[in-house]
Structure 1
């Protein structure tokens, strides 16, 4: 099996596992035309050599996948593994730290899926040792940093603050703070349980301007729980 065939198999498995085998859904998420996807999956297009290095790296970036996702686990492909390790060594410091990316999100109302685009850090670079992740049972690929907009969560969180969100933690708990896909907009709110109903609550005491909204689990989606924050305003 050559690398092009291996990439095709990895891509097909990704579509089956993460997108229910629906090519249109995958194309929407990756901003790729269905005809281009067909080329990548074709064993005859360009004599089976159509899923090249540039295409693989570009697709990994658009989907937020790890570097060399489509190349890894190829039988006998030690070169790909070595390149991945070299990339990891370049990105890591002497304490083998891992960086959490700051991103901006593109959401669709009611959808649990989201697209993320890396942006330059606004307050700090989030970087932690592997032991830090292990001790807290966190997975680096499930964490993202995002800038807070508006004053709905003041004084706890102010406009321009940056928070780290654990997208693996979507189980709602009373009084915990979450990043929510609320009608297609990314909002940070404190969840409040009141007489069996969940509400998105603001910390800002101006209730006239920041009224709580009832959480609709059929329309609203919990992206993840806020676990860290950085602020220049103390």
Structure 2
């Protein structure tokens, strides 16, 4: 699966979840014509290469989504287990490493102690151009392992995610690493009647009820931006 196809899949899921599958609602919300939306969703338009970087960023802004919304989870979607474990192709001098860590937290505090661990599921090495293209800073990124089943089927225990500690602005529908009473949890934020809630993707609601996002019990540590998984 290439990035264009991945973005189409993300957009289709968004239309189904947020707009009840009604594409016209998306057109109304963005001012986009039906024909233009059809082009973005087409696997044949421009030989399947019609949902490019510029189009993705513009649509994210119009729909008030977070940056890189349509690119999120691309590692897990586009790679085989072997590809995920393999170091991305890049020149040694151009490679920037994002370390995987264990977190030491204090309840109510945004301060964290990061302890690098090894061995890990994969080696996170990105070319410097990746950081500049996406407006990221290497010193703000770290990787952590997923624990529990609260975010299944998207995230499974043992998966590894990269977190951008430089992005702690509340965004409806985005996924974050959160310090919840001294425990690191991964949840999706939802805005409901002016109040923020932490939600789980797992449909077993009685086991994973939504919780109100409230200080000082809840502190954002960063936004989840990339996923590596052995489940394809």
> What is the TM-score when the length of structure 1 is the normalising length?
0.60
1:104-150: CA deviation from partner (whole Å, max 9, x where unpaired): 00000001101010001421101001111111110000000000000
CA contact (8 A) 1:102 1:121 kept: no
Looking at structure 2, the residues matched to 150 and 112 of structure 1 have their Cα atoms a distance apart, in angstroms, of 22
Alignment correspondent of 2:12: none
Match of residue 141 from structure 1: 139
Structure 2 counterpart SS, 1:218: coil
2:176 is aligned to: 178
CA distance in 2, matches of 1:200, 1:160: 21
Greater C-alpha Rg: 1
Following superposition of structure 1 onto structure 2, how do residues 104-119 of structure 1 map, counting pairs within 5 Å? Answer: 104-119=102-117
Contact 1:98–1:129 (8 Å) recurs in 2: yes
Offset of residue 95 of structure 1: 4.8
Q: Unaligned 5+ residue runs, structure 1?
A: 1-91
What does 1:216-227 correspond to in 2, within 5 Å?
216-227=214-225
Residue 76 of structure 2 corresponds to residue 94 of structure 1:
no
Report the 3-state secondary structure (helix = DSSP H, G, I; strand = E; otherwise coil) of the residue aligned with 1:135: helix
Q: What CA distance in whole angstroms lies between the structure 2 residues aligned with 1:157 and 1:223? A: 18
Runs (5+) with no aligned partner, structure 2 = 1-89
How many residue pairs end up in the alignment? 143
Deviation, structure 1 residue 93: 4.4
Runs ≥4 in structure 1, deviation > 3 angstroms? 92-95
State the match for 2:157 in structure 1. 159
In the alignment, the residues of structure 2 paired with residue 121 and residue 129 of structure 1 have an alpha-carbon distance, to the nearest angstrom, of 22
Write out per-residue CA displacement over residues 53-98 of structure 1, whole angstroms, 9 at most, x where no aligned residue: xxxxxxxxxxxxxxxxxxxxxxxxxxxxxxxxxxxxxxx9435110
Q: Give the equivalent residue in structure 2 for 1:213.
A: 211
RCO comparison, higher one (Cα < 8 Å, 6+): 2
Q: 1:183 to 1:176 in 2, by over 3 A?
A: same
Within 2, Cα distance between the matches of 1:93 and 1:185? 38
How big is each residue's C-alpha offset from its partner over 1:177-201, in whole Å with a ceiling of 9 and x where there is no partner? 0000000000000001111111110
Describe how 1:179-194 pairs up with structure 2 within 5 A.
Answer: 179-194=177-192
Q: Which residue of 1 aligns with 2:198?
A: 200
Partner Cα separation in structure 1 for residue 155 and residue 195 of structure 2? 24
Distance 2:165 2:144 in 1: 12
